[in-house]
Amino acid sequence: MARYSSQFPDPVVLVTVATPQKRNVMTVGWASPVSFDPPILMVSIAPARVTHDLILEAGEFGVSILGEGQKELSTLAGTLHGDSHDKLGMPQFTTIQGERLAVPLIAGARACFECRLVEHHSIGDHTVFYGEVLRMTVDESVSPLVLFNGVYYALGEERGRYP
């Protein structure tokens, strides 16, 4: 059952956070909207990840849905450890500063969300962080990057509209 989650196709999502002492970015496999009013989304992060404690300290975080041309960012953010690398300082990462919160966001992403931490709960081997979306930007010209069963994909042809 260890790879059960790989059967869910997901947008490729990076979570960013900054405190006065440290900043970090990581790739997350589990991110989703959970409420329309107020707008709240969740990200699930293992306690061993550097980003976990930084979110608790900062009380806020950024979420960026990567575009189909940003696969390298996902790989770097997901394979390098935040204790030994300033990933956001690497030349591959271009960030923009949040307007409502002090969170870095990934430039060129399909969508970016500035989130104020409203709750967090430990469940199983992860902590689910709930963030109220205070600001969102979307670039409709960018197609989202998708991960399914360990393989990156771009969206294919449209098959119809959901009612």
pLDDT in tens, 29-77: 999 999 999 999 999 999 999 999 999 999 999 999 999 999 999 999 9
Q: For residue 67, give the DSSP letter.
A: B
> Residue 76: is it exposed, middle or buried by C-beta count within 10 angstroms (0-12/13-18/19+)?
middle
Distances (CA, A) of 17 to 3, 5, 77, 113, 115: 27, 25, 13, 12, 10
Q: Is residue 141 part of a domain?
A: yes
Q: Is residue 92 part of a domain?
A: yes
- Percentage of the chain beyond pLDDT 90 is 88
pLDDT in tens, 95-140: 999 999 999 999 999 999 999 999 999 999 999 999 999 999 999 9
Q: For residue 113, give the DSSP letter.
A: E
The whole domain housing 125 covers 8-154
Residue 79 phi/psi, 5-degree rounding, is -115, -20
> Residue 139: is it exposed, middle or buried by C-beta count within 10 angstroms (0-12/13-18/19+)?
middle
- Percentage of the chain beyond pLDDT 70 is 99
What's the domain count of the chain? 1
Residue 88 — very low, low, confident or very high, per pLDDT cuts 50/70/90? Answer: very high
pTM for the model stands at: 0.95
d(CA 18, CA 21): 8
Q: Is residue 161 part of a domain?
A: no
CATH of the domain at 125: 2.30.110.10
> Residue 162: is it exposed, middle or buried by C-beta count within 10 angstroms (0-12/13-18/19+)?
exposed
